[in-house]
Chains A and B, each alone.
Chain A
Amino acid sequence: MRVYVDFKSPAAYLALKPTMQFAQRLGLALQWQAFNSTQPTDNEAVAEDKSAAEDKGAVHRRVRAKARRQTHLRYADVQGVNMSFRAKTGSTDLALMVLDRLAVADRQQFVVAAFEAYWCTSLDLNAPQQVASLLQKCGFAPELVAQVRLSGNASMEALNSAVQQADGVVDVPAYIVRGEIFIGREHLPWIESIYPGSKA
């Protein structure tokens, strides 16, 4: 099962633990993939000040962002995980490109560390030194950061474009199961029903 994530996505972060538990329970191997979620982020919209010039659409987006953020925090509490929203969403492009270059078998360790770094310690996942130290902490070669940087920002765009074309990913977490796409951990019951021998 392929799972697309972006470290700055609160929904992807909250999907991490349930997804790993799900895979372990069903004996599935997860293939973590990078996707730069360009959906309007909850953080920035929340930070927008309510102004007199706000039109109906802007009010809708602000109210939605605030409600989503509260909902994420509710379920972080349910899951017993730390979750600190930043005033402004940080770019995670560099860490996502690093994830894309790692061997599939090594990815889960990096994914766990990167999510924790973003949501619990406010690490800058677009800063070369910080991403390199994260790699090192996971036991991987920090030189990978330099290799990724040589390829430039265009690679992230190219990766996103390829992912959208191949799998139809529009947001994260996205699960690709036998050619079908599911966005959000709320689909895990359906995904479980797809696998023969599962309890569902």
Chain B
Amino acid sequence: MSIEPLKSASPLIVYVDVKSPYAFVAIEPTLALERELGLQFDWRPLTLDIPSYLGSARKKAGKVVESNRSPSQWLGIRYAYKDARRYAQRQGHILKGTEKIWDSSAINIALLWVTLRQRDRLPAFFAHVFPTFWRRELDIEDTGVVEDCLDKADVSKVGFREFLFGEGRALHDELTANLHGAGIYGVPTYVFDQQILFGREHIPYIRWHLGGRQGHAPDIAYEIS
């Protein structure tokens, strides 16, 4: 089995990464769109390699203790967190800045597990994982914690450990290796008809497209309720 980055039986592929604040604030609007259109999107993991393009840093007690980021990278990152935080608050969530760059591959492989085994539990999995992680209450690098997330979402974890270190890891790594070649670089990314759009600001356009392209196409917007 392998996953083609731009191909799916679903009309929309959605790439997310648990450690991305922008993916966090995109989850609820994208799930809402899925319900609104009565469709089932193809949710997939994209484990970002943040240090390769945005430098790396580690914090301790709120202070930066290690960093190879430039001042302009810091300014951009601070704004990005501030921006994601206000939208998270609007959704009723807390978004705390992370203290290190996490390896989110295990929890992202769990996402893959849920989509392949119990797709109907995916909203429950997201509802537990994202808010808890962004309150800094989830060690997503701990396999036991990841299994607990499956429990919390009422997803069977029988066979998960084998999947995590075997088939699931292979699928995840192969997909990750093929994403840049397909033109995908960040999260959330939406793919329809081989077209790629990065960011939840495209939800109005995606709704218009999947809804039959009636009327004039909308411009980008972060929709608020």
On A, residues with C-beta under 8 Å from B are 18, 38-39, 55-57, 59-61, 63-64, 66-68, 70-71, 75, 78-79, 164, 168, 170-171, 181-190, 193, 200
Contact = CB atoms under 8 A, between A and B. Distances in A.
Given A60-B52, A61-B53, A78-B219, A170 B196 contact: no
A190 B224 contact: yes
Contacts of B221: 185-186, 188-189
B197 interface: yes
Contacts, number: 77
B64 interface: no
Given A55-B52, A59-B180, A170-B75, A64 B219 contact: no
Interface in B167-225: 180, 183-186, 196-199, 201-202, 205, 216-224
B183 A66 contact: yes
B30 to A, nearest CB: 15
Nearest to A182: B83
A170 B72 contact: yes
A183 B75 contact: no
B49 interface: yes
A-B CB proximity, top 6 nearest: A186-B201, A56-B52, A60-B53, A57-B52, A57-B53, A63-B185
Contact of B198 (A60, A67, A186): A67
For the residues of A in contact with B, the DSSP-based class is helix
Interface string B105-117: 0000000000000
B185 A64 contact: yes
Contact of B223 (A164, A182, A184, A189): A189
Query: How many residues of B sit at the interface, in one of the four size bands?
Result: 20 to 34
Contacts of B198: 64, 67-68, 71
B165 interface: no
Given A59-B180, A184-B220, A189-B224, 8 more contacts: A38-B72, A56-B52, A64-B198, A67-B198, A78-B219, A185-B219, A185-B221, A186-B222
20 contacts: A18-B219, A56-B53, A57-B53, A60-B185, A63-B180, A64-B198, A67-B185, A67-B196, A71-B197, A75-B219, A78-B205, A78-B216, A78-B217, A168-B75, A170-B72, A183-B83, A184-B220, A186-B199, A189-B224, A190-B86
A67 B197 CA distance: 8
B13 to A, nearest CB: 15
Interface in B114-129: none
A61 B86 CA distance: 27
A56 B49 contact: yes
Given A63-B180, A67-B198, A183 B79 contact: yes
B185 A75 contact: no
Contacts of A67: 183-185, 196, 198
B76 interface: yes
A37 to B, nearest CB: 11
Contact of A168 (B49, B79, B180, B222): B79
Contacts of B199: 186
A61 B49 CA distance: 12
Contact of A78 (B49, B53, B218, B222): B218
Q: Which of A18, A181, A184 has the most CB of B within 10 A?
A: A184
Contact of B220 (A57, A164, A170, A186): A186
Contacts of A57: 52-53
A128 to B, nearest CB: 29
Contact of A184 (B49, B72, B201, B217): B201
A70 B222 CA distance: 20
Contacts of B217: 78
A159 B138 CA distance: 43
Contacts of A171: 76
Contacts of A200: 224
A63 B183 contact: yes
Nearest to A171: B76
